[in-house]
């Protein structure tokens, strides 16, 4: 559907713009990495450091969640199922098989990924609301099973996970090590997300997010793609859960299989922006800090639930695209000629072509009169456009409007 003459126009724009923004991005990345790596030495006391570990753990989970939520648009409220399974599988593997803790964590991740295949086959058959219902049901059923099956999982008494480091490693030092370990896991997850984002596979997933029926009609093997994204997401979530188990050393079904944890992942990702690489990370920093703050300040009262509920409601109502896309579009508003092709109206585009390339303009005129209407072409662009331009989140963002 996209006529060849559309190709040259965006190309020079992205080229001139990408060099500048790439340098900017690289600098931002280095600053971010430096900030993360220097946090343990800046932390005032072990408590702050442990909050940092919690936030990093949330960041891993939210980024892992975003493999499904961000790419396919399937909102899972039940990812706590995979983090909880990962945590328990890690703990149980170490206790029962005497395996090296880190290998145990990896095995647990693979195990959960394998379990995610049949779960994905069942739950990805339905869309939207039904999918969310299934994801919630999964957490509830696992909570029930892990509480009732006390002989194996420790039930409501909890499960003590052996520490991976010897007794000579003191608590603050342990926090520090786990902070870096979580950061490393987060980096791997982010890298994989970025690679998928730029791949053909990622294009297919985003096409599913924009319009699943149309994506299928265009030849995207939607079910396979969704399933792969789902399993990858479950794998990383399980690793995040396993890492948390090794750090915290104690598991209780109530906290491991909690819809609240799953909803935190959604809230973090939405708040930061599910279409951007660092969105979930940013959301995790904000929400993780807020959660720890409210728990610390208001202790046993249920006030933190109210605060979280209101925050989630506000995000859903007023900022469903998240902070990063909102900020990006704000910045873009002050950058002339750096808008993406989506934000240019069809009339502007025709004018641009006429002045820059008379041959293309004529061809464009031709195709337009041939088609009779311009509208179908534009709507088809939402599918293919989302698939062609992988770089900026604003492109696909604009396609939804």
Residue (83 or 263) nearer to another protein, CB: 263
The values of phi and psi at residue 207, to 5°, are: -65, -35
Number of amino acids touching another protein (CB under 8 A)? 45
Q: Which value, to the nearest 10 degrees, does the dihedral of the CA atoms of residues 328, 312, 235, 122 take? A: -120
Give the nearest distance from C-beta 289 to another protein in angstroms.
18
Give the interface segment with another protein, choosing from 24-32, 87-95, 196-204, 315-323 (CB under 8 A).
315-323
Tell me the C-alpha to C-alpha distance, in Å, between residue 25 and each of 28, 29, 36, 281, 330. Answer: 5, 6, 16, 16, 17
Does 266 engage in binding with another protein (CB under 8 A)?
A: yes
Residue (125 or 362) nearer to another protein, CB: 125
Does 312 engage in binding with another protein (CB under 8 A)?
A: yes
Give the interface segment with another protein, choosing from 109-117, 263-271, 279-287, 364-372 (CB under 8 A).
263-271
Does 134 engage in binding with another protein (CB under 8 A)?
A: yes
Residue (46 or 158) nearer to another protein, CB: 158
**247 closest CA partner among 150, 189, 163:** 163
- The Cα 66–Cα 74 span in angstroms is 10
Block residue for tokens 């896309």: 325
Residue 328 Rama label (left phi>0; alpha psi -120 to 50; beta): alpha
User: Other CB atoms closer than 10 Å to residue 368's CB: what's the count?
Assistant: 15
Give the interface segment with another protein, choosing from 22-30, 106-114, 122-130, 387-395 (CB under 8 A).
122-130
Residue (321 or 364) nearer to another protein, CB: 321
Block residue for tokens 């950058």: 335
Single residue of 126, 191, 217, 375 touching another protein by CB under 8 A: 126
Does 375 engage in binding with another protein (CB under 8 A)?
A: no
318-337 positions binding another protein, by CB under 8 A: 320
Does 17 engage in binding with another protein (CB under 8 A)?
A: no
- x/- site string to another protein, residues 292 to 311, per CB under 8 A? ---------xxxxxxxxxxx
Token reading at 29: 């990345």
The answer to whether residues 230 and 140 touch, using CB atoms and an 8 Å cutoff, is: no
**292 closest CA partner among 116, 53, 104:** 53
Helix/strand/coil (H/E/C) assignment for every residue in 322-348:
CHHHHHHHHHHHCCCCCCCHHHCCHHH
Does 346 engage in binding with another protein (CB under 8 A)?
A: no
Single residue of 15, 151, 317, 337 touching another protein by CB under 8 A: 317
Q: 233: part of which helix (H) or strand (E)?
A: helix 222-248
Give the interface segment with another protein, choosing from 29-37, 57-65, 117-125, 285-293 (CB under 8 A).
117-125
- x/- site string to another protein, residues 137 to 156, per CB under 8 A? xx-xx--xx-xx--------
Single residue of 48, 75, 187, 349 touching another protein by CB under 8 A: 75
Does 12 engage in binding with another protein (CB under 8 A)?
A: no
Q: Is 111 helix (H, G, I), strand (E, B) or coil?
A: helix
- The Cα 226–Cα 247 span in angstroms is 32
Single residue of 93, 112, 136, 229 touching another protein by CB under 8 A: 136
Tell me the C-alpha to C-alpha distance, in Å, between residue 93 and each of 56, 57, 111. Answer: 24, 21, 11
Give the interface segment with another protein, choosing from 87-95, 126-134, 365-373, 386-394 (CB under 8 A).
126-134
Does 129 engage in binding with another protein (CB under 8 A)?
A: yes
**269 closest CA partner among 242, 291, 288:** 288
Does 378 engage in binding with another protein (CB under 8 A)?
A: no
Residues 6+ apart with CB under 8 A from 5: 353, 357, 360, 363, 364, 367
Does 122 engage in binding with another protein (CB under 8 A)?
A: yes
Give the nearest distance from C-beta 317 to another protein in angstroms.
6
Does 128 engage in binding with another protein (CB under 8 A)?
A: yes
User: What residues make contact with another protein under the rule CB under 8 A?
Assistant: 73, 75, 77, 122-123, 125-130, 132-134, 136-138, 140-141, 144-145, 147-148, 259-260, 263, 266, 270, 301-313, 316-317, 320, 400
């Amino acid at each position: 559907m996209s006529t060849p003459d559309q190709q040259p126009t965006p190309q020079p724009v992205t080229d001139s713009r990408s060099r500048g923004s790439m340098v900017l991005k690289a600098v931002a990345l280095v600053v971010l990495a430096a900030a993360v790596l220097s946090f343990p030495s800046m932390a005032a006391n072990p408590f702050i450091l442990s909050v940092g570990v919690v936030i990093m753990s949330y960041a891993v989970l939210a980024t892992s969640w975003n493999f499904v939520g961000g790419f396919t648009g399937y909102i899972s409220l039940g990812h706590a199922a995979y983090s909880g399974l990962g945590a328990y599988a890690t703990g149980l593997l170490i206790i029962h098989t005497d395996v090296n803790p880190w290998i145990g964590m990896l095995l647990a991740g693979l195990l959960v990924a394998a379990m995610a295949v049949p779960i994905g086959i069942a739950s990805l058959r339905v869309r939207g609301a039904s999918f969310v219902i299934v994801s919630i049901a999964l957490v509830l059923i696992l909570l029930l099973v892990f509480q009732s099956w006390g002989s194996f999982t420790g039930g409501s008494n909890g499960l003590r996970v052996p520490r991976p480091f010897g007794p000579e490693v003191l608590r603050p030092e342990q926090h520090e090590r786990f902070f870096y370990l979580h950061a490393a896991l987060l980096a791997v997850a982010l890298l994989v997300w970025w690679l998928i984002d730029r791949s053909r596979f990622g294009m297919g997933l985003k096409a599913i997010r924009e319009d699943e029926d149309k994506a299928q009609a265009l030849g995207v093997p939607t079910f396979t793609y969704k399933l792969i994204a789902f399993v990858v997401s479950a794998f990383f979530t399980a690793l995040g859960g396993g890492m948390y188990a090794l750090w915290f050393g104690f598991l209780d079904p109530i906290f491991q299989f909690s819809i609240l944890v799953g909803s935190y992942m959604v809230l973090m990702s939405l708040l930061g922006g599910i279409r951007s690489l660092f969105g979930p990370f940013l959301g995790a920093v904000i929400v993780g800090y807020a959660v720890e703050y409210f728990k610390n300040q208001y202790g046993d009262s249920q006030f933190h639930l109210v605060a979280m509920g209101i925050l989630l409601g506000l995000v859903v109502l007023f900022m469903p695209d998240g902070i990063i896309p909102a900020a990006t579009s704000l910045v873009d508003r002050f950058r002339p000629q750096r808008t993406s092709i989506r934000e240019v109206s069809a009339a502007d585009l025709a004018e641009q072509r006429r002045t820059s390339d008379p041959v293309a303009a004529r061809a464009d005129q031709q195709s337009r009169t041939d088609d009779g209407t311009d509208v179908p072409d534009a709507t088809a662009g939402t599918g293919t456009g989302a698939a062609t331009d992988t770089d900026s989140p604003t492109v696909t963002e604009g396609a939804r409007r």
